[in-house]
Amino acid sequence: MQEVVTELTTPLSDQDKTKRTIPQSAGPDRFGPDTAENLQKLFREKGMTDYLPIVLPTEDRVEAMLEATSHKPDEIVGKISPTPGVYEYWSYTVRQVAVNAVMAGADPKYFPVILAIAAADKESLSSSDNSFAEAVVINGPIRDEIGLNYGVGALGPFSHANATIGRAYTLLSLNAGNCGKVGETYMGVIGNPANYANIVIAENEKESPWQPFSVQHGFKPDESVVSIFEGWGVISAKNSKFAVWSKDMNFAQELKNIFNDQDQLFGGVAVLSPAVADYVKDEGYDTVEKLTDWLYQSPGEEKPHFFSPAQINILVTGSSNNLYWDYGGMRYVKSVSVDKWR
């Protein structure tokens, strides 16, 4: 307590009294020319990478990326803050998103997806000491157009599109949103391995028994959409004492048991394989809404665990070679049309 009193009564230092102006410019427009090795080192030392090698954003590579959208290079796409309300926002143009997309190794045909993510105004690297993770759900024809993986290993590093789109989101947050500056705009106690390339979830719409997530939220089936989630991340349901294989599987009850055991901050998200989703549908839930309503409060259940059914989200991806599924505490933030950024 004495420290509190001391801090409140000790005169301010000259620095604390100073009214300061912080320049708008983040730095020069470009670096070099120099050797590739020196430029890689420069970007790394400036904290502009995820400490993996980047594709150097040369003018011709950035130009090729910019050709993949009808939007003008100087158009403002959006703004990101490491934590809105705590840190100021940084804004970014189509060109600056393109620079980060090149650095991530993205193919220009992925660029409308990356622009849509950037337009969501949502950081992928929160300053919170909670070490949050971010997920990007992708729906619509763009999934097949650019080769997103929604089969075996859908959430793993097995597709150029999934990997580089997710990585671009982190680099964008780091560079264009001023996030991830350890000790200044990043304070995650443990850190989160999902931050390298985020959790990219292209839904397996073809094999899902339910409407795509984007359609559940008002988009048309032929629209391509990204939807952002934030929270702790996802892990296999086999981590939970409630996911027990038995002769008569009851996946809906498993889901309910697991969700009711979770923290309420972010609600619950389940990432089901198509086979598990089919089982759940056959248990009587022919729409996701019926399922989430029941998961929120079943008949006779006195008090719901979560605050509303909207805190529960169900996604379908992956293959059906076994009955595995993931769960986590992640909340839906917003959806953005990819088509508007073509």
Partner 1 sequence: MATVLRSAVLNPEGFRTIKAAGGEVSGNGFFSSLAPRLDTLNGKTVYLVDTGFGGSGRFLDQSQS
Residue ranges that bind partner 1, judged by CB under 8 A: 1, 4-5, 8-12, 16-39, 48, 56-60, 62, 79-80, 88-92, 95-96, 99-100, 103, 171, 175-178
Identity of the residue numbered 227: S
Nearest distance, CB of residue 72 and partner 1, angstroms: 16
**Quick one: residue 131, left, alpha or beta (phi over 0 = left, psi -120 to 50 = alpha)?**
left
Nearest distance, CB of residue 40 and partner 1, angstroms: 10
Nearest distance, CB of residue 137 and partner 1, angstroms: 24
Give the nearer residue to partner 1 in terms of CB position, either 180 or 318.
180
Nearest distance, CB of residue 4 and partner 1, angstroms: 7
Exposed, middle or buried: residue 104 (CB in 10 Å: 0-12, 13-18, 19+)? buried
d(C-alpha 54, C-alpha 39), whole Å: 10
Give the nearer residue to partner 1 in terms of CB position, either 23 or 218.
23
Give the nearer residue to partner 1 in terms of CB position, either 181 or 342.
181
Give the nearer residue to partner 1 in terms of CB position, either 178 or 311.
178
Give the nearer residue to partner 1 in terms of CB position, either 56 or 323.
56
Phi, psi of 199 (to 5 degrees): -105, 100
Please name which of 243, 130, 274, 245 lies closest in space to residue 189, comparing C-alpha atoms.
130
Identity of the residue numbered 24: Q
d(C-alpha 255, C-alpha 294), whole Å: 11
| 3-class DSSP state of 302 | coil
Extract the tokens encoding 128: 């919170």
Q: What is the largest CA-CA distance in the chain?
A: 72
Nearest distance, CB of residue 6 and partner 1, angstroms: 10
Please name which of 221, 215, 219, 227 lies closest in space to residue 332, comparing C-alpha atoms.
227
For residues 134-172, one letter each, b for 16 or more C-beta atoms within 10 angstroms of the residue's C-beta and e for the rest, the string is bbbbbbbebbeebebbbbeebbeeebbbbbbbbbbbbbb
Nearest distance, CB of residue 272 and partner 1, angstroms: 33
Nearest distance, CB of residue 113 and partner 1, angstroms: 18
Extract the tokens encoding 316: 């379908």
Nearest distance, CB of residue 47 and partner 1, angstroms: 10
Exposed, middle or buried: residue 206 (CB in 10 Å: 0-12, 13-18, 19+)? exposed
Give the nearer residue to partner 1 in terms of CB position, either 12 or 222.
12
Give the nearer residue to partner 1 in terms of CB position, either 175 or 292.
175
Give the nearer residue to partner 1 in terms of CB position, either 39 or 333.
39
Angle (nearest 5°) at CA 261 between 259 and 266: 55
Nearest distance, CB of residue 159 and partner 1, angstroms: 24
Identify whether the C-beta of residue 298 lies closer than 8 Å to the C-beta of residue 256: yes
Give the nearer residue to partner 1 in terms of CB position, either 7 or 302.
7
Identify the residue whose tokens are 């996802």: 234
